[in-house]
Amino acid sequence: MDRNIGPEDRVVRIVVGIALCVLAYLGVLPGIPTIIMAVVGVYLAVTGLLARCPLYKLADIDTSIQEQPYSSTDDRSGL
C-alpha cells in the first residue's frame, strides 16, 4: 500500500495517538471507554508512524500529495 498520509497529518496522528494511549494507561475513564481510547490511540499512532491509513485508502483520500507553490518567476525570459 502506498503512503497516503502527509507530514502534517502524521504529526497530528502521532501526538493524538500517544496522548490517548497515555490517558487510557492512566485510567482516566472507567471500563469500556478506556479500551476504546486505547484502541483508537494505537491505531492513530501506528498509522502516523507508517504513513499509511487503510480508512483513507477506502475513502480515496491522500494527504501526502502537496500542491506545488506558485512561482512568479518566468524562465522564458532568458535572463
Q: What is the pLDDT of residues 50-75, one digit of tens each?
A: 999 999 889 988 888 765 566 566 55
More confident call, 77 vs 18: 18
| pLDDT tens digits along 14-46 | 999 999 999 999 988 989 999 999 999 999 999
Q: Is the pTM of this model over 0.85?
A: no
Closest alpha carbon to 1 in 63, 53, 62: 53
Is the predicted pLDDT of residue 78 greater than 60, yes or no? no
> Can you list the pairs that 39-42 forms with residues at least 24 positions away whose Cβ atoms lie under 8 Å?
41/16, 41/17, 42/17
